[in-house]
Every structure is written in C-alpha cells, then in structure tokens.
Amino acid sequence: MDLELLDQVARLDGWLGEGGVVVLSGAGLSTESGIPDYRGPSGSARRNTPMTYQTFTGDPLARRRYWARSHLGWHTIGLARPNDGHRAVARWQEQGLLHGVITQNVDGLHQAAGARSVVELHGNLARVTCLDCGDLTGRAELEQRLTAANPDFTATASAMNADGDVELDDAALDGFAVVDCRACAGTLKPDVVYFGETVPADRVSRAFELVAGARTLLVLGSSLTVMSGRRFVLRAVKQGLRVAIVNRGVTRGEPYADLLIDAPLGVVLPNLAPGTDTYRLLAG
C-alpha cells in the first residue's frame, strides 16, 4: 500500500475503534464473492437492464423471460459464499463496534458470514413471495419446482446483474414453464424490491433509526447512484455524523464524504483491526 492509502486506512481504523458505526453496503462488497455489481468495475447494468416491477407485473411474457434468466442466475447467487469483507463486518459486529448493518444487496451474504439483525433494504433472493396471497416460501423449494417443470432447459448465461438476472438469448427461452403459488395458484415474485418499486416503509424507518444513533456511517461498495441508499448519507450529513466511503470507482457520495478510500474492499476491510498497530499490520 502507498502512504496515502495507509494514512486513510489508519484514520478509518481509528473511527471504527470508537464504535457506534453503521455500515451501509452495496453490490461492490459482493463482487469478490463472484456476484457482479451494477455500476462499478464489473458494471453489469451497462449491458443488462434490470427488471422493473411494472414490467414484471404487467407483461406475462417478460415475467416468463425473467424467471428463466433468474433460474440460471440462482446457480451463481445460491452458491456464492461470503468474502473477507463480509467476514470483517460480522467480526466488527461481534466486537460491539457496529450500531447496525444496512444493506442494499439481496444475496444474504452478510448473514451467511455471521452478521445479525441486518436491515435488507431491497429484500433477499432466497425468499419468494406470492403477489396474490402474500405466502412466503424459500427459493430452494422454487428452484426444485422449476427444475422439475423444465427438465430439458439447458441454456447457459453470459452476463449477470447483482440481482441474479442474467443475459440470455430469447431463442433459449422457448418452452420454459413458470410455476405458480402452491397456496393459491397466484403469481410468484422474488422477495426483492425491483426498480420502480418502493422500499417498504418499515425498513426505511429502521435504517434511519440506526443512522440516528450512530457516530459514523461507513459506506462499503456502493456508488450511491440511486436515492435508496444515498438518502442515508444525506441524513448522516444533516445530523453531523462522519461519513466514510470505501468503494472502487466513482461514487455520488464523494461530496459528502469525510473520508473516501478508492481501493479493493478485500484489501482494506480485513486490515481494519481496532486496537492494533495498523501501519505495522499493513506493512507486514
């Protein structure tokens, strides 16, 4: 590491050691687990437009296309494992340094690493909800049903979004069968917030409560392009909190950041170890 980065990491290490930190994580935290981000270096949104709620609910053909693509994407999302960044966050929480964890991700990797009481702003792909009766089921069960309903579906995906939606030629979708809710035969949807859909008010309220009780807001792997995450940065600034951002590439949070570290999260986060000599740790 160069001296400037060493100084930045040491400064963040000191803030973390004071406790009262709220983590706000984005897709960039999960890229080292094999899940692409939207607008960072892997930039999947630039080549694969995310599904919108309006399209999913209003177009049966688009819904069938989505489930075929998502069925393939789950092969990657479902097998993804936490990386050093997720494990670092869980360790900080265990040490009592975190006031809370808010994530924009839908991959469940914070919890898989051991984090608790995570506010999942955009839901979790591991759950499936019925738009008609509200029944909530596990994604593993749905995947078994989709596999059984489509024994000859052998398509392969190319690019993938952070929400598990892959890029797939329409010709490969011929004959793909969608399954309905077992409880009421209604329409199934991943329990995630699509573009064009509103984040549930109780999740937003809980996230604001966490920010209100914090000393530092630490943004990890988010470009903060959409207001869904950026509003918490704006609230932190309004309340006089310190804002630290660790992200690869451009972030719209730069004007509000007291500390901005443009570096791989897998390099920075494992080296944040309050109570140790950060310089010696990084240099060694």
Domains of the chain: 3-283 (3.40.50.1220)
- Section 139-150 average pLDDT: 96
pLDDT tens-digit series, residues 180-202: 999 999 999 999 999 889 999 99
The identity of residue 230, as a single letter, is R
**Is 51 annotated among the ligand-binding residues?**
no
Check the annotation: does 181 bind a ligand: yes
Instruction: Tell me the C-alpha to C-alpha distance, in Å, between residue 46 and each of 24, 244, 275.
Output: 23, 26, 41
Q: How confident is the model at residue 273 (pLDDT cuts 50, 70, 90)?
A: confident
Q: Which amino acid is at 52?
A: T
SS3 labels along the chain: CCHHHHHHHHHHHHHHHCCCEEEEECHHHCHHHCCCCCCCCCCHHHCCCCCEHHHHHHCHHHHHHHHHHHHHHHHHHCCCCCCHHHHHHHHHHHCCCEEEEEECCCCCHHHHCCCCCCEECCEEEEEEEECCCCCEEEHHHHHHHHHHHCCCCCCCCCCECCCCCECCCHHHHCCCCCCCCCCCCCCEEEEECCECCCCCHHHHHHHHHHHHCCCEEEEECCCCCCHHHHHHHHHHHHCCCEEEEECCCCCCCHHHCCEEECCCHHHHHHHCCCCCCHHHHHHC
Give the C-alpha separation, 50 to 163, whole Å. Answer: 8
pLDDT tens digits for range 224-236: 998 999 999 999 9
Q: Hey, which residues are catalytic here?
A: 122
How many whole angstroms separate alpha carbon 21 and alpha carbon 198? Answer: 26
Predicted confidence at residue 91, as pLDDT, reads: 95
Question: Does the annotation list 184 as a binding residue?
Answer: yes
Q: How many residues does the chain have?
A: 284
Asked if residue 133 belongs to a known ligand binding site, the reply is yes
Q: What is the pLDDT of residue 154?
A: 85
Task: Read off the pTM.
Answer: 0.90
Please answer whether residues 275 and 17 qualify as being in contact, where contact means their C-beta atoms are separated by less than 8 angstroms. Answer: yes
